[in-house]
Chains A and B, each alone.
Chain A
Amino acid sequence: MNPFEVIYRWFTKLFGAELADYLAGWNCTTEDYTGTNQFVSIGLIAFVVALVFMLVYYYVVNHPRFNRWWSWLLVLIGVGVINLFIGYGINSSNLEAGNIENCLMYATSANTMNIDNTQPVSSDDTDNDTIKKTPITFADKSFPLITKANCWGFGLANFIVSAMWFIIFSLCFKWWSRNCKYSPF
């Protein structure tokens, strides 16, 4: 598994398994991860944004009046917010463009809807022979599994991931900064 995907998967609860599968490149036809892994591109963006902001904070701005813990926190929030919108924006536009396949987008199996499809579906249908043994699959478009809330959830995950990068970069590279060497601590 791609390392970026591993990191994002830690936060699956925030944005849901379906969106995670979509981003990982799940293909409904082949039933495998054969599509483009978007975790890599989004993760790289978060990585680069955090790196650039760290470099700008410690080496370009490098200001003796902007070296307090709260100034560093402000930059961290800035990095996080940018990535939140990137994460949200990418998924939201895919969602609106209908790029997410139905098998991920909507419930496709009964157990998903908690329906016991081994029971007769109508009073007339009492003949045991007529009872369908195989699960009924259908797409209930009134209950999408990926919504805007999931996109925001992913944005939040992206916020956290980028903040983590920023913290790691800060701890690694702050020592050579003239004015912000001891920021945030």
Chain B
Amino acid sequence: MSKLYVFGIGGTGSRVLKSLTMLLASGVECGVDTIVPIIIDRDMSNSDLSRTKMLIEDYISVNKVAVHTAQNKFFKTNIELLGGELCLQLKDSTQKFDDFIRKRSMTRENQALVEMLFSEYTLGMDMTVGFQGNPNVGSVVLNQFEDSELFKAFSNDFSPDDKIFIISSIFGGTGASGFPLLHRVLQTPKSETSGLHNWGLINNASIGAITVLPYFSVESGKDKDSQVNADTFMDKAKAALSYYKTEDKRLETMYYIADKQVTTYKHNKGGDGQRNNAHFVELAAALAVLDFVNPNKISENINRDANKKIKETIYKEFGILRSKTEDNAQVVSFANLADETKQTLINPLTRFLLFHKYLKNFYDKQRGQQPYAHLYFDKNFINNETIKKMIKIQERFYGWLQEMEEQTRKFSPFILEDNSKIRFLRDRINVVEPRKSNFMYKDWALLDNELNRQSIKIDKDRGIIEETFKPEERFLELFYRASAELINYKN
């Protein structure tokens, strides 16, 4: 039972974790049994974080049902919260930076030094909404990970085969400062009196990380108080990258991702207003997490010598293929992805979307007519708490796909709006392959037929008299099997 502890730092960390959760919900293969997400963000009220938190909590509820299924892969990977907490709460909740560094109690000389290092605005900055693009502030304030209860729980929970992955952006405040800081803490030995058990295991654990380079911009100039200036993103990224060179041979695998084709968001200081639409870069970043724990890539991702010291850090980037008509594809679909990524994404995303579209548009009408529902799913079944949560996740999944479609560089592999056709893939990738005997079933009747067929198979597999699935378990198993039978892309 190996675990991957995924630290998501800042807003980008939360959004990548959201994408990762969407991928796991859709059944993308994960090389570990359990993912343990930990979000580090001082701005606890930002919408990106709260959306991710709600999603993960609902996922965990559905996963409790999914673990009892057989062939089903939807929601199959466990997501576990340490002590029921997702966010690493920093003990200190001081509002202003100058209060945090106790400037007033400093000597005059030190105060003068502080004023040289930080601007007046920075010193008076409200840190409860994050570090607003100031990694220099973040690196000071975030330096209190180890005091938090969640961090202690992480240390106590860590086992020998477990791995760590860190997600951060390089062009903001929290992520840019949090990543090197966290990495340093994780690899610094501690005394036994620190209360951090298994710390030796953590010191020697395999660590992967993704650093997200600028992929969006913010409007500047409107908010005079704003410290965030999109023009500095690139410079900050360059400066941070030069510092990250020191991480060489201290990490197993380092992933980088960026997009020059940026979407410009309205600037929000943080809090409820910080709600960025999902972006393909976040999806690709989530793929990096899965790549790191891919059992087929252990020798590629982890290079240690006989003394278990890291021989070299592997650096990886993500790219898309040119489209037929343009070098820089503005609309990314599955056709623009490399074979390996296609293999990873097409089946799970398409199957899960098929499940969602059917459930939303056809289930109510067909439930009373189709044998797969007869005896198993009554009128009130859809009001089952787990099923309601799963439907909520599917709605968010659909919204997530829509948001990616609305970016400047669109990720648009599906025809989302048209629900009449079962073949909703934008590319000419034939994944719905009716058997020869199924030639007479058109569109969604094809799925109904398959659901009825799989329902019989499940009865045969489990034995009608023997222990049977609970209805919600059967529901997941049934829809997975049926969608997997219809959608089976192979390179």
Contacts and interface: CB of A to CB of B under 8 A. Distances in A.
A181 B448 CA distance: 13
Given A68-B369, A179-B371, A63 B453 contact: no
Given A178-B453, A179-B452, A64 B445 contact: yes
Contact of B449 (A68, A178, A181, A182): A178
Contacts of A178: 371, 449, 452-453, 456
B460 interface: no
B315 interface: no
A113 B441 CA distance: 62
Given A178-B449, A179-B371, A181-B374, A64 B440 contact: no
Interface string A43-74: 00000000000000000010111011000000
B370 interface: yes
Interface string B117-134: 000000000000000000
Contacts of B453: 178
B456 A179 contact: no
Which of B366, B440, B453 has its CB near the most chain A CB atoms (within 10 A)? B440
Interface in B418-440: 440
Given A179-B370, A179-B371, A182-B374, A64 B448 contact: yes
B100 to A, nearest CB: 64
A70 to B, nearest CB: 11
B374 A64 contact: no
Contacts of A61: 440
Contacts of A179: 370-371, 448-449, 452
A180 B449 CA distance: 10
B434 to A, nearest CB: 13
A65 B444 CA distance: 10
Q: Chain B interface: which size bin?
A: 10 to 19
Nearest to A71: B369
A67 B369 contact: yes
Nearest to B447: A64
Contacts of B366: 64
Nearest to B374: A182
Nearest to A69: B369
A174 B20 CA distance: 45
B163 to A, nearest CB: 45
Nearest to A180: B371
Contacts of B445: 63-65
A64 B456 contact: no
B335 to A, nearest CB: 32
Nearest to A61: B440
Nearest to A182: B374
A68 B448 CA distance: 14
A64 B455 CA distance: 13
Contacts of B456: 178
Which of A61, A65, A67, A182 has its CB near the most chain B CB atoms (within 10 A)? A65
Contacts of A180: 371
Interface string A165-185: 000000000000011111000
Nearest to A175: B371
Contacts of A64: 366, 369-370, 441, 445, 448-449, 452
B421 to A, nearest CB: 15
- Among all A-B residue pairs, the 5 with the closest Cβ atoms: A64-B448, A181-B371, A64-B445, A178-B452, A182-B374
Interface of B: 366, 369-371, 374, 440-441, 445, 448-449, 452-453, 456
Interface of A: 61, 63-65, 67-68, 178-182
8 contacts: A63-B440, A63-B441, A63-B445, A64-B452, A67-B370, A178-B371, A178-B453, A179-B448
Given A65-B448, A179-B371, A180-B371, 16 more contacts: A61-B440, A63-B440, A63-B441, A63-B449, A64-B441, A64-B445, A64-B448, A65-B445, A67-B369, A178-B371, A178-B449, A178-B456, A179-B370, A179-B448, A179-B449, A181-B371
